[in-house]
Amino acid sequence: MASLASKVNVKPVNRRALRKYGEFWRALQMVAAAIAEAEKVAAKSRPAKSRGGARAHWSAATPEELKASAKKAGRALEVMSKSAKRWEAELVSREWRKH
């Protein structure tokens, strides 16, 4: 009796997995572009000035906070990208399931 694996056509599954990995990788690149843009904005930011001592109900992030957040996001994306590259063969060889 033939196993189920021998009856399944693997090529469409592998093409789908490869396509999904490509979509995932492109999404990581888009996030990297957004972080780079955020870093540019953070570099240009200036401290907010208070108006006449009036008490504000909200506040903006300081330039240092913006820079630190962009840097932290960049490091997290770098870790995720390295993991994606390390596990690329595994991700491409398996079907991506929705759970």
- pLDDT tens-digit profile of 6-28? 554 556 667 888 888 899 999 99
In a domain, 73, yes or no: yes
Per-residue pLDDT reduced to its tens digit, 32-43: 999 999 999 988
The answer to pTM > 0.85 is: no
Q: How many domains does the chain have?
A: 1
Per-residue pLDDT reduced to its tens digit, 52-99: 555 666 777 888 999 999 999 999 999 999 998 898 888 777 766 654
pLDDT of residue 62: 86
CA dist 88 → 9, 33, 35, 82 (Å) = 21, 21, 23, 10
In a domain, 14, yes or no: yes
Dist CA 41 CA 38 (whole Å): 5
In a domain, 5, yes or no: no
In a domain, 79, yes or no: yes
Structural domain harbouring 81: 10-45+61-93
In a domain, 2, yes or no: no
In a domain, 4, yes or no: no
In a domain, 21, yes or no: yes
Dist CA 29 CA 94 (whole Å): 22
Q: First and final CA of the chain: distance in angstroms?
A: 31
pLDDT of residue 55: 60
Token readout for 20 is: 């999904």
